[in-house]
Chain A
C-alpha cells in the first residue's frame, strides 16, 4: 500500500526488553518524525529526521534511539523499555516546502 505504515500495530513487552517500532513511507518524503501520544500530554516529538543519516532529538528523546539508513524507513528503538514508555506511538512524514505532516496509524505499546 502506498502511504505511511507502522508495525506492529500493537505490542506488549516487559520492562527491560528492547523493542523496535517500524515506520515505512512510500512517498520518498525527506522528513520523518516520531511522536508519542499520552492522555494529558497530547503529542510530543521524540525524534525527527531531515534525510537519510540525519536525525535529531525532539522534546522527549530519553530512552529512545532512531536510525535512518534509508529514506523510506525510520525505526524507533526502546533500548530498555520502562513502564513510563507505555504509550501510542505515531510516525509522520512530510516533504518541504509543504507543511503538512502525514501520519501513520500508530502503534499501541504496553510495557508491563
Chain B
C-alpha cells in the first residue's frame, strides 16, 4: 500500500530563514509526487509536481528515490508562505488518478 508521511505537524520559522517541509513516501511502483498548499480561507491548490522540476513562489522539491523523499524547500521564507502544506503521491502507472495525501504540515512564518 502506498503511504505518505509528513513528520512535522507544525513548523515555525522566522521571515527570511530557510524552510524545509519533509515528505517521505513508501510505494513499490513508480510514483508521481506533488505538493499542495492551502492558504487561510482559500482552496487547496497545486503548488508543484516533481515531473515538471519547476520552482513556484520560490519553492522547489526534488524527488530522491533512494531516500524515498520529496522535501519542499525555500531559501528565504516569507510571511505569505504561512499555510498548510500537503504532500501527495500518485501511481504513475495507474489508471485511476487517485492521490494519497500526507497528514499535512502547518507552516507559520513569523515576522
Contacts and interface: CB of A to CB of B under 8 A. Distances in A.
A100 B46 contact: yes
A106 B103 CA distance: 17
Interface in B78-99: 86, 90, 96-99
B99 A101 contact: yes
Interface in A65-80: none
Given A42-B104, A104-B43, A99 B96 contact: no
Contacts of A99: 32, 34, 49, 90, 97
Contacts, number: 48
Interface string A27-38: 000010101000
Interface of B: 6, 9, 32, 34, 43-46, 49, 86, 90, 96-104
B44 A103 contact: yes
Interface of A: 31, 33, 35, 40-45, 48, 50, 56, 58-59, 90, 92, 94, 96, 99-101, 103-106
Given A42-B103, A99-B49, A94 B43 contact: no
A41 B103 contact: yes
A31 B86 contact: no
A94 B97 contact: yes
A33 B9 CA distance: 25
A56 B44 contact: no
A105 B43 contact: yes
- Of the candidates B44, B86, B90, the one having the most CB atoms from chain A within 10 angstroms of its own CB is B44
A2 B62 CA distance: 34
A103 B97 contact: no
Given A42-B86, A43-B101, A100-B49, 7 more contacts: A45-B98, A45-B100, A48-B96, A58-B98, A100-B46, A103-B44, A103-B45
